[in-house]
Amino acid sequence: MLVHVLVSAGAIDELVERLSSTNEQVRSAVAVALGYLTFNKTAARLLLGACRNTPGLYKKLMDNIGKDAKISSDFIENFKRAKTVGLPSQWYALSHLYLDDQKKKCLALKLRHQFD
């Protein structure tokens, strides 16, 4: 129940923002909290969307989560699958409708490299 309240209150966005803190302890605590939230389907979906739309976010999360922290293996597998398959982010899917072919090719290359 508490997880649903946190998700409804926008905790994912707030935590994602703080994952870029200059304070290592803050980054670590945020990564642990996000890791635990990945066991909730709604929270995991929101975080996966954020990771796909924000270059380097998944790496920041994994770099700061620590050895003993918990993170859903389903979340990790879903991210890796999205990266491998190259599924477009929601932003890309919407913007794709309004771009000419040259801009589409350029954007597709940029998005493919965001996960490297």
Residues 82/44, Cβ–Cβ less than 8 Å = no
pTM: 0.71
Query: Are 14 and 68 part of one and the same domain?
Result: yes
How large is the average pLDDT for residues 33-52?
93
Query: Are 79 and 90 part of one and the same domain?
Result: no
Query: Are 58 and 69 part of one and the same domain?
Result: yes
Identify which has the larger pLDDT, 75 or 99.
75
Range of the structural domain that residue 100 is part of: 86-116
Query: Are 45 and 93 part of one and the same domain?
Result: no
Q: What is the DSSP string of 1-47?
A: -HHHHHHHTTHHHHHHHHTT-S-HHHHHHHHHHHHHHTTSHHHHHHH
Query: Are 14 and 40 part of one and the same domain?
Result: yes
Query: Are 57 and 112 part of one and the same domain?
Result: no
Query: Are 20 and 8 part of one and the same domain?
Result: yes
How large is the average pLDDT for residues 91-110?
54
Residues 19/64, Cβ–Cβ less than 8 Å = yes
1-40 pLDDT, tens digit per residue, is 677 788 888 889 999 999 999 999 999 999 999 999 999 9
Query: Are 34 and 73 part of one and the same domain?
Result: yes
53-97 pLDDT, tens digit per residue, is 888 999 999 999 988 889 999 999 999 988 887 755 544 544 444
Q: How many CB atoms lie within 10 A of CB 101?
A: 7
Query: Are 30 and 61 part of one and the same domain?
Result: yes
